[in-house]
Amino acid sequence: MRLRIAAVCAGAALALGACASIPTSGPVNEGTGEVEGAEPFVPFAEGPQIGDSVNAIVSGFIQATAAGFASDFTVAREYLTVPARADWDPLAEVTVYDSGALTPDYDEDAGRVVYSVPVAAWIDDAGRMVEAQAGTQTQLEFQVSRDVGGEWRISGLEDGSLLAEATFNRVFLPVTLVFASADGSTVVPELRWLPSTNVATWAARELVEGPSPWLANAVTTGFPAGSALAVDSVVVTDGIARVQLASESAGSPAERALAEQQLRLTLTALPGVREVEVTVAGVPLVSDPVETLSRGPVPEGVAAVFIDDRLGLWDGEDLWVVRDGVGALPAGADALATSYTGTRVAFRVGGDRIVISDALAGGVDTLLAYDDAGRARGTMEVATVVEGPDLVAPAFDRYGWLWTAESVDPEAVIAVSEDGDAMPLDARWLAGRTVQQIVPSRDGARVLVVSRSGAQTVAEVAEVVRSETGEPLSIGEPLQIGANIGTTVDAIWVDDLSVALLGSSSGAETAPLWIVAVGGRTTEDAAVSDAVAISARHGDRSITLVSEDGTVRERAGTGWSAVASGVDELAYAG
């Protein structure tokens, strides 16, 4: 108690001192614009007291565990018997529980304390998160016994730590590890959750160890097998993070150049890090940093549209359509997609054909203002690239390949080259499901698959293994993402780490809009009730809705503002 009072008094004194130093007169000066990263939050930890009850010992241990991520769990181990201290691995798994009080059940005869824990997520020892579905509970069991001094201590427990969600959000940080696409040109990110104390060390260590198994075959890294930190500490001084690598980490010149970029891009995204210096045996990893990695392409601000049975473009202000002589859309056209080059569009016809057209290749200059268009003459020419029963809406990747699949119980996902060659990619893990969306990520190394398994919506991301020229060779076993997702009607990538899924309103005033971070959490927003499709350029603030009545809406504060009408389909690149 005296320690708590002292801490409060010290904090009050600091606050008063800060207030006294605020100037009340004088000129307004321009600042540097640079803000140092905030000091990590460190929860208060107090060791066991003489005469503590069983409940006080167990609850005190749980509280001290939260502080352990900044102090090597020294205080938390004081609650354990000597053998248990040696065996317990607090970093094996972190269970994040919904914030609130936990009620223990103490079985005195068995010497056992059991907590029923409402789980929000799990974090493994490499910082990989798995979200829990609503209502998920786990049992946390502690064996207790008296030590040689007659005090209660925890004598048996499982490896891992327990953190309240509110505490977790303050002692862990989302960190993006940077890897490269197969052709070495594009950043492929992987999200991890790492302790905020010494986060640069954690991030460097995990980056050097490499990508997760589900992503490993789709990316390249500049760190050869056996790479490691020479000193398990990345010191950050005056905004400069200094990384010392073991000699085994120095690969070929190309690998060293890539490794330096990966470390620089990963660490400079952390609070308080502006520069990165990387050495091997005291020698700089590279003499001159290079810039070979770029982010995945962001769709242009022009979207392809279907309007009044005609193909066209929307530039954010005006609608344009193909000339009258190009013809109307084929009967049954839907599910519009646009290539990243803007030279090709694809769509589905009658549910059983995927077709492509280059009618928009010339851009706005070759089109008519929608208000000036007459009646379309005939039907536009298209080229069929895939035929099959009940095909999934097509989507383009950055290499120009077109993706689809049969929706019912498929055995493969289909990728079609720019030359029209269809390549089936084995996906037998989809057996027994109904596939709703297949959308490649903008870096091309991953693909989002949304399917239905019985009454359950399943959102997954799988690696796309490619040749150095971009040809897809296979897709891997998927990583399930998202929690508590209901029936969806459309899905997209909104940036290189997040996807958006549009739900069905089912007669409600709004439709759910789920934003899911790959490797992170799911948040639920609200779309308009009659929204049937979504598209986006970059970030969830760029999401565009198309309603059943043809109204196009964009974000406006916390709501949606109508920007166009009469549009049946709208698609930015992807």
Q: What are the boundaries of each domain within the chain?
A: 41-170, 198-284, 297-387
pLDDT at residue 100, rounded to an integer: 73
Handedness of CA 481, 487, 488, 494 (dihedral sign): negative
For residues 428, 431, 437, 443, the Cα torsion angle rounded to the nearest 10 degrees is -20
Nearest to 177, CA basis, from 187, 164, 165: 187
> DSSP string covering 212-279, please?
-TTTGGGEE-SS-TT--BSSS--EEETTEEEEEE-GGG---HHHHHHHHHHHHHHHTTSTT--EEEEE
Site of tokens 């993706």: 403
d(CA 212, CA 477): 12
3-state secondary structure of 348: strand
In our burial notation (b when 16+ CB lie closer than 10 A, e otherwise), range 152-171 reads bbbbbbeebbbbbbebbbeb
Taking a C-beta distance cutoff of 8 angstroms, is the pair 282, 270 a contact?
no
CA 234 to chain centre: 25
- What order do you get walking across the sheet with 510-517 strand by strand? 488-493, 498-503, 510-517, 522-528
Nearest to 144, CA basis, from 43, 60, 75, 69: 60
338 CB-contact burial (10 Å; exposed 0-12 / middle 13-18 / buried 19+): buried
pTM of the predicted structure, to 2 decimals: 0.89
- Given CATH 1.10.10, say whether it is the number of domain 198-284: no
For residues 529, 534, 536, 541, the Cα torsion angle rounded to the nearest 10 degrees is 10
Site of tokens 């998920």: 136
> DSSP string covering 14-69, please?
HHHHHHHTS--SS---------PPPPPP--------TT--HHHHHHHHHHHHHHHT
**In DSSP terms, which residues pair with 294 in a beta bridge?**
186
* CB-based contacts of 238, cutoff 8 Å, min separation 6: none
Site of tokens 């549209």: 305
Nearest to 474, CA basis, from 497, 438, 450, 447: 447
pLDDT at residue 226, rounded to an integer: 93
d(CA 218, CA 465): 5
**In DSSP terms, which residues pair with 153 in a beta bridge?**
145
pLDDT in tens, the chain (574 residues): 222 223 333 333 323 233 333 343 444 343 433 344 445 556 678 999 999 999 999 999 999 998 898 888 999 999 999 999 999 999 999 999 987 778 889 999 899 999 999 999 999 999 999 999 999 999 999 999 999 999 999 999 999 999 999 999 999 999 999 999 999 999 999 999 999 999 999 999 999 999 999 999 999 999 999 999 999 999 999 999 999 999 999 999 999 999 999 999 999 999 999 999 999 989 999 999 999 999 999 999 999 999 999 999 999 999 999 999 999 999 999 999 999 999 999 999 999 999 999 999 999 999 999 999 999 999 999 999 999 999 999 999 999 999 999 999 998 999 999 999 999 999 999 999 999 999 999 999 999 999 999 989 999 999 999 998 999 999 999 999 999 999 999 999 999 999 999 999 888 889 999 999 999 999 999 999 999 999 999 999 999 999 999 999 999 988 999 999 999 999 999 9
Taking a C-beta distance cutoff of 8 angstroms, is the pair 461, 483 a contact?
no
**In DSSP terms, which residues pair with 528 in a beta bridge?**
510
